[in-house]
Structure 1
Amino acid sequence: MAALDPRTLKLIESSQTAVIDAWVASLAQASQDGRTSQRELDVQVREFWRLFLGAMHAADAGNLQGREWDEIRHFLEDLSRERVLKGFSSSETATFIFSLKRPLFDVIQQANADSPVELARQLWAVSELLDQLGLHTVKAYQKTREEVIQRQQEEMLELSTPVVKLWDGVLALPMIGTLDSQRTQVVMESLLQRIVETGSEIAIIDITGVPTVDTLVAQHLLKTVTAIRLMGADAIISGVRPQIAQTIVHLGLDLQGIVTKANLADALALALKRTGLTVSKAG
């Protein structure tokens, strides 16, 4: 990457008031939805500018991975993380850097109007520098966004697999949606943890809300049942509808040894019976 001339650095520093004002005005115009206040924007601009000038004076502008650029990289990573949480897009986040080009270009152009070659060289150097900073901002944004999506998926999995205590010693796990390897792992961890916490003897897995059962889904169910048995508890699968029963038969799946019931009520009645309890109408 082309190096910035010391004279250009001095020029940029001496014109910082005009550059900052033009930069803030450009950012304010691009962000008028209230997600970032004018005060916040002003603080971010001035902090970045302080780090920016310091890094350019102390470091090689062609090597943004140097230690001298650590603070500015961390600043951009924090900025990207904050904007992800506020709902900004990647382009809106990168605009924070790219909108600085025009004010800097104007200053450099005025100072090198009589030297087209030097003008082109310095404009190219500043453009490359800001492009690299903008690229780092986008990468930080994407990384944070992926982390947020992953965390949301995990939270949704946990919410979609609640373990309910139906009675002393009886747990129920109503399942809704398709079973896959990741969800099965969450199911196992949640259910086994609750078995340990409550000392339950019976766990009912209700698949009424599972749209289809294929070989893969059946394998996941078998793994869950096996894990429950290893914890010293019994498992009952409820919600086996006629269509699911036919599918299991056609697929030749072996559910031998696993107790199944048509609905949750029948499974609960069986669980209570196994624990030595009976339900009867009052009076």
Structure 2
Amino acid sequence: MKIGFIGIGLMGGPLARNLIRAGKEVYIYGRNQQHINKVLSAGTTGKTVKNINDLAICDIIFTCLPLPQTVKSIMIENNGLLNQLKSGSIYIDTSTIDPSTAIEIEQYAIHHNVHYIACTLGLGPAQAETASEPLFVGGNKEIFTKIMPILNLIGSPVHYLGGVVQAYAFKIISNMIGMTNLAILAEGIHLAQKANIDIEQFLTLLAQTGGDSNQLSRRGPAIANNDFSNRFAVDLTLKDLTLGCNMAKDFNYPPIFSQKSRELYQKASEQGYGAEDCCAIYKVLE
């Protein structure tokens, strides 16, 4: 079985390395030589291709790309890769894209007799590197069952949500909740400081209350230590919140809190914090 991988950066790179570590024959396409070298260092079964269309020999294709339009431009537009893949091959996308784009890709894939699976990722690069990334999957149930051995190599636990729309919607909603929670946490830390509460004590005690959260444990200490090094960038957060707010509008539901949160991350990006970790939202609330 030949596996192709497009998008070997912060999240895609660890997934590709996990496949290579498992002895799978993996063909990677990338533009960043440092990323390419890092993936190839995982084992001898990794290979590179110079052209995306060279991946048409693969039985399974993975993508892990930053934007819905990036996915479309590579897979559909200008005689994209979906036009080149073998009949019956499987396309697994681990990107965060909107449901409407997913429907468009699914219809296009069906027309070309390619099985399309949405496989969204629940946490970050550290979990991806150790194959402990929660996976939220949508698509044809029979194909999902068929590729479970492959999915188990890149993440755990693996959850089946139904169609591709459900998989992408879940990921977007999860990010909306998590990043809005982070904005509230940053605001709370500012208030604690104004009340002259020791910041380390504040974070410790907050974990014993209803204010506890994943963001508290993951990013509270980073804020306290003024560590805004990128783990998940402000600009990526802004992208996901924009996708979420647009999705909510498509569903005829007003995303009041997420929209306000999106505005704050927009402000953080405009102030030059776009490449910093999303916890840099703390800076715009000062």
| TM bucket, shorter chain | under 0.3
Q: TM-score, normalised by structure 2?
A: 0.25
Larger Rg: 1
